[in-house]
Amino acid sequence: MKHLFPNVAAVVLAVAMPAYAQTSNTKPAARGAPSAAEAKAFVDNAERDLANVSDSDLHCYVRAKLNEKYGDAVQSKTGPIRADLLGNMWSQEWGNIYDVVVPKDGAGLGYDLTKQLEAKGYTPQSMVKTAENFYISLGFDPWPKTFWERSMIVRPRDREVQCHASAWDIDNKDDIRLKACIHVNADDFFTVHHELGHNLYQRAYKNQPFLFQNGANDGFHEAIGDFRRAERADGRLSEATRRDRCHSGK
Ligand SMILES: [Zn+2]
């Protein structure tokens, strides 16, 4: 990631910055392609931000918990976290190791969301509908009719598919879709909110020029649906990430 990112950033800068500069109200001298110094400063800042993330209290805390569980031979107390220990094939969601990292002082969700979804008779479709209703409750338009006709919400029986959930904007307008194999459980409940967050963002920039039909940064895109998860963290997050606990490796 660290080596890849500057290259990606440089390409994005080279393509996007001139267009941005032409449309912005910046002073004439600032219009046109970024200077080498501007591009370098951008990449340096991004690298520094990424370094801060990898060295964050949360990263440190999770690493310590994994070290506690697996021992030094598997997960060292320092350095990167092994990607295959994070409970997700792509390491992009850490929710599946919640039971490993939750503080020992009795903190917990206080309820079993999977059991509640089952008890209330949720289906994969109604989970997606619930996510849609959440965004509608914030004032956004309902998802288009075609979304419900064209999305893949459960694993089809007649063919092999790639089940990793993703959100699509086929025509960069209103043909937004979900591709997923949803099961009725807490993890997928958050997944549908996450993916519909992508759809929301995709639709929000449909009237923008092509170059701007994406998040300003992938992180923004990923964050839209994930703010819904904040409810899982609540006050315990601050406890869980206490610097002293983390850096003592406990
Ligand atoms: Zn995503």
The sign of the dihedral angle between the CA atoms of 170, 149, 128, 88 is negative
Residues that place a CB less than 5 A from ion ligand 1 = 222
For residue 109, the CA-to-ligand 1 centroid distance in Å is 23
For residue 195, the CA-to-ligand 1 centroid distance in Å is 6
CB 149 within 8 A of CB 177: no
Rounded Cα distance between 6 and 108, Å, is: 39
Predicted pLDDT of residue 47: 73
Mean pLDDT by 10 residues, the chain (250 residues): 37 39 37 63 75 72 94 94 89 83 72 91 97 91 97 96 93 94 92 92 90 79 72 41 42
Rounded Cα distance between 93 and 188, Å, is: 11
CB 69 within 8 A of CB 100: yes
Token code pair at residue 100: 């490993």
Predicted pLDDT of residue 107: 60
Token code pair at residue 71: 């021992």
Residues facing 169 on adjacent strands: 176
For residue 226, the CA-to-ligand 1 centroid distance in Å is 9
Token code pair at residue 192: 């549908």
Rounded Cα distance between 169 and 177, Å, is: 6
For residue 72, the CA-to-ligand 1 centroid distance in Å is 32
For residue 194, the CA-to-ligand 1 centroid distance in Å is 6
For residue 33, the CA-to-ligand 1 centroid distance in Å is 30
For residue 221, the CA-to-ligand 1 centroid distance in Å is 7
DSSP string, 48-115: HHHHHHHTSHHHHHHHHHHHHHH-TTTS-SSSPPPGGGSSSTTS---GGGHHHHS-SSS---SS-HHH
Of 203, 202, 187, 182, give the one whose Cα is nearest residue 129: 182
For residue 91, the CA-to-ligand 1 centroid distance in Å is 12
For residue 9, the CA-to-ligand 1 centroid distance in Å is 19
Token code pair at residue 156: 């089809």
DSSP string, the chain: -TTHHHHHHHHHHHHHHHHHHHHS---GGG-SSPPHHHHHHHHHHHHHHHHHHHTSHHHHHHHHHHHHHH-TTTS-SSSPPPGGGSSSTTS---GGGHHHHS-SSS---SS-HHHHHHHTT--HHHHHHHHHHHHHHTTPPPPPHHHHHH-B-S--SSS----S-EEEESSSSS-EEEE----SSHHHHHHHHHHHHHHHHHHHTTTS-GGGSS-SSHHHHHHHHHGGGHHHHTTHHHHHT-HHHHHTT-
For residue 178, the CA-to-ligand 1 centroid distance in Å is 11
For residue 101, the CA-to-ligand 1 centroid distance in Å is 23
